[in-house]
A and B are shown apart, each in its own frame.
Chain A
Amino acid sequence: MSGLIEQQRFMCSIGAMQSVVAIPRALPILHSGPGCGTMVAGFFERSTGYSGGYTAPCTNFSETEVIFGGVQKLENLIRHSYKVLDSDLQVVLTGCTASIVGDDAGQVVKQFAAEGKPIVYADTPGFKYTNYESHSVIVNAIIDQYTARFNKEKKPTDPKLVNLFASIPYQDPFWKGNLEEYKRLIEGIGLKVQVLFGPHAQGTVEWQNIPRANFNILISPWYGRNIAEHLQEKYDQSYFQFPYIPIGGNETTRFLRGLALYANEHGAELENDAVETFIKKEEETFYEEIDNLATFLLEFRYGLPSYVHILHDASYVLGMARFLLHETGIVPKEQFITDKTPEEYQQNILDIGGSISDKKKIPLYFQADAGLAQETILAANHEGRGLIIGSGWDKDLARKKNCDFLSAALPSPYRLVMTSGYAGYRGGLRLIEDIYNQALSTYR
């Protein structure tokens, strides 16, 4: 079955309206059917931000627009949006309806842009992409239609300034915490970073300044690649890619050393001593905790998880599996990448997955249809106490398998995440806390 999907863990294109919601004081405007905005808000839960969910203006496509087109309605909507809502950037997103009937939303948006409004549009019909892919479509649209306006002439670049493209806002439940940790780490080695999304970004100014950066950082095996490549082409910015989320001591250090080396090759002139001093201090803090925990991990005699199935996107599956094997001793068994990774990226991900351990092969499956992933896990048989890291959908699976369960992927109705993150040294410790708190809470 190539088509059917049970228990989806991602959205269609228009789900990337959450990327707009994540930009400080940006306003999504939907040219779509009446349900798209609330469907998106419903998938992501507790995530309406400054002006998402019911607040987002929407043409609410009806039969009339399906027949006669909705361009005039969109123009009115945008004009009135300026009166009703305050915003620094507006992003018009089209849904299935507008795209199928062939409305030229771009033409309408261009009129407002010509008046000097900070408005852009992106073609995001639900049947075209997943939100993992359309995140790049939206970011590139902002770069081309907004950022470009502030960079008519080539401005001097700041050799220490970088842009970060990593967690997809809201689709990664830990995006705020992760971006905060990345910022702390990247600044820790002496660079300056624009994270573009969330409370640690400086609003639209960062988007205006994207071309001033020396290079870009991409932390992802595949999604967001289109952004990095686009910026390379458009502003001659190269990019440093780390192909999964760095969690814990080993990987965060590997990330920072790689980044420092890359930065210096590109003229950032970081002080190597300062970089190493920072890493050393961070590692000491991290391993002090592991040291303190080791007795518990080695000796707890009432049972702790010994193996894990992870159902998450490619970045998390690779990052968590590597971390759990090497830094907590939990062995990854069958792993499932549920983000509908395009085929062209799959081999590379399998190669990275193959390098997680020198000793054993960790089975890695691309399976957007999580119903089938669950069938495989149900049929699998492993010795010891199991752990399942997945979405709320997997709570029942864990119960059936008598496994510990950590909800870490969307949708996640059984868990509240605000600003905690799993990336970096601090994220690794947080992940350990969450896993073993779950396990310990079974003892009563």
Chain B
Amino acid sequence: MTTVNLKAASVPIRENRLGSITGFSGTAGELVGQARKGCLKEKVRSFSQCLGCSTSNAACTLILIQDSAVISHGPVGCAGCLHEYAFTYRVNGVHRNVFEPTERRIFSTNMDERDTVYGGAQKLGDAIREVYRRVHPKTIFIITTCASGIIGDDVETTANEAEAEIGIPVVAVFCEGFRSKIWTSGFDAGYHGIARKLIRKAEKKQEDLVNIINFWGADLIGDWFKRLGLRANYLTPFATVEQIATSSEAAATMQVCATLGSYLGASLEQEFGVPEIKVSPPYGIVQTQRWFRELGRITGRAEAVEVFLREEEEKWLPEIETLREKLKGKTAYVTAGASHGHSLLALLRELGMEPQGAAIFHHDPLYDNGEVAADTLQNVVKDYGDIKHYNVCNKQEFELVNVLNRLRPDILLARHGGMTLWGAKFGIPSLLIGDEHFGMGYQGLVQYGKRILDTMENDEFVKNFEKHAVNPYTKWWLEQDPYTFLEK
């Protein structure tokens, strides 16, 4: 079975393609068991708060490509938060060797009421030509929105016509918010467009090149790769269109987060013959060893990897031991997207801490590569044992607030903005780390452990904040079962 079909204009959403869900309450082991038996069932909530949107996640894979321009086809509001990526590009460029970051060119077709009646295709066509005049990019992406989706604008045809006219790839990316409750479907949409129109069939192979599908973390892996005679090809933030086009020449693809890279990793393997590393990414010692050995096997560097692992162990193990003594038995709660959340659970276990539970935004029973060995949650459970209070909850703040009030962990680890606030309001030290590479490898374990320790020790701010924090949640709600509104 393959989930990749680059002939289709759009990629099916995760609910349909992978059978992913957004509602579950139980233990991690139970969830993995259900996934293996193929009996995961989506549960509906009768109360819900604002989710995220596929369009912003698609945007996040596209806007940070160095020489591209992005048009949001819809009302102006659908591009409202995209300026955040312009900031990210400017600020993080330096970590990825982009020292003179250019402005991010983000456009909206500014759909109005008339367009919803007569259609917005003409406006989009004009917009593409005008954007080409202003920017002269190497490619133009069009991201769709609820409004353009519902009224049925033929964005694919408009894009293809414009492409023929201006002579650069014009990529229609279908990521309407209403189509999926799993906003990571937007990543898939962005990568589908990239794989469909930007990546070329390889004419030659570069045996030392490894694709790394990531967000915008610092270039830690690149340094490790140098020691192994490898080069990192980061996809897609901060890459050029040409770098993306030649990703098919790489010897392997790795993902820092399978939630992010599932579809592109599988596309590169199935359509372009680039093998994907199908084990969990290197967070925690067990996975770091497993992952590097797999890298060594695929790239023919098994011996070099053993040397590398030995060196890393010698360098970092003493410090890891010290941290473990200090953190032993401390409790934590995790809220994050799926795969990276699993990685954080592994980190906590490695540091001798006790994850009391997790609120993870969705669950994919398998990723697009179809490999059971790639199931990051299963690997955590197998390596470290089961996790109680494992909930799948797409950023429903009210549930998180309720759980935190009950469990009162020593620390809250969050991967997404907006969530640490609710730990802090209950006086719980709360930590968000933006750089997804921060916890990788032996070094990452030390870095993360230090930050956790630091956050727990310096709790004066949250303790004071708790005394004065405003809480809009009712007393009634805080006394209910957190999953009261989740279908039984």
Give complex CA distance A356, B54 in Å.
46
Q: With A35-B53, A57-B47 in contact, is A4–B472 under 8 Å at CB?
A: no
User: Nearest chain A CB to B425's CB is how many angstroms away?
Assistant: 11
Give complex CA distance A43, B147 in Å.
19
> A1-14 interface mask toward B, CB cutoff 8 Å, 1 = contact, 0 = none?
10111111011111
B179:A35 contact, CB within 8 angstroms? no
User: Nearest chain B CB to A84's CB is how many angstroms away?
Assistant: 5
Instruction: Pick the residue among A11, A36, A126, A413 that contacts B87 (CB under 8 A).
Output: A413
Tell me if B397 counts as interface (CB < 8 A to partner A).
yes
B75:A35 contact, CB within 8 angstroms? no
User: Which of B109-117, B219-227, B308-316, B403-411 forms contacts with chain A?
Assistant: B109-117
Give complex CA distance A80, B45 in Å.
11
Tell me if B433 counts as interface (CB < 8 A to partner A).
no
User: Which of A58-66, A149-157, A184-192, A230-238 forms contacts with chain B?
Assistant: A58-66
Q: With A8-B80, A63-B178, A413-B83 in contact, is A37–B74 under 8 Å at CB?
A: no
Could you say which of A30, A33, A48 has the most chain B C-beta atoms within 10 Å of its C-beta?
A33
A54:B477 contact, CB within 8 angstroms? no
A34:B49 contact, CB within 8 angstroms? no
Instruction: Pick the residue among A34, A127, A128 that contacts B53 (CB under 8 A).
Output: A34
Instruction: Pick the residue among A10, A37, A396 that contacts B103 (CB under 8 A).
Output: A396
A77:B115 contact, CB within 8 angstroms? no
Which B residues from 135 to 158 make CB contacts under 8 A with A?
A: 145-147, 150-151
User: Which of A93-101, A262-270, A343-351 forms contacts with chain B?
Assistant: A93-101
Tell me if B48 counts as interface (CB < 8 A to partner A).
yes
**What residues of chain A lie closer than 8 Å to B179, measured between beta carbons?**
62-63
Instruction: Pick the residue among B53, B113, B131 that contacts A33 (CB under 8 A).
Output: B53
> B57-96 interface mask toward A, CB cutoff 8 Å, 1 = contact, 0 = none?
0000000000000010011111111111011000000000
User: Nearest chain A CB to B431's CB is how many angstroms away?
Assistant: 18
Which A residues from 300 to 348 make CB contacts under 8 A with B?
A: none
Q: With A5-B76, A83-B476 in contact, is A35–B177 under 8 Å at CB?
A: yes
A127:B111 contact, CB within 8 angstroms? yes
**What residues of chain B lie closer than 8 Å to A48, measured between beta carbons?**
418
User: Nearest chain B CB to A209's CB is how many angstroms away?
Assistant: 24
Q: With A54-B49, A54-B418 in contact, is A34–B108 under 8 Å at CB?
A: no
Tell me if B127 counts as interface (CB < 8 A to partner A).
yes
**What residues of chain A lie closer than 8 Å to B131, measured between beta carbons?**
4
Give complex CA distance A13, B79 in Å.
13
Q: With A3-B127, A63-B179, A86-B474 in contact, is A76–B76 under 8 Å at CB?
A: no
Tell me if B51 counts as interface (CB < 8 A to partner A).
yes
Q: With A35-B55, A60-B48, A85-B474 in contact, is A4–B110 under 8 Å at CB?
A: yes
A80:B395 contact, CB within 8 angstroms? no
Give complex CA distance A101, B178 in Å.
12
Tell me if A87 counts as interface (CB < 8 A to partner B).
yes
Instruction: Pick the residue among A15, A33, A85 that contacts B472 (CB under 8 A).
Output: A85
Which B residues from 24 to 62 make CB contacts under 8 A with A?
A: 46-56
Tell me if B481 counts as interface (CB < 8 A to partner A).
no
Give complex CA distance A162, B51 in Å.
40
**What residues of chain B lie closer than 8 Å to A1, measured between beta carbons?**
126-127, 130
**What residues of chain A lie closer than 8 Å to B183, measured between beta carbons?**
34-35
A58:B83 contact, CB within 8 angstroms? no
- 5 A-B pairs (CB sep. < 8 Å): A51-B472, A54-B50, A83-B476, A85-B472, A85-B474
Which A-B residue pairs are the 5 nearest by beta carbons?
A35-B53, A42-B81, A12-B77, A37-B50, A126-B75
Known pairs A8-B79, A39-B80 / 9 extra A-B pairs, C-beta < 8 Å: A39-B78, A41-B50, A43-B81, A63-B179, A77-B46, A81-B47, A85-B398, A86-B474, A128-B113
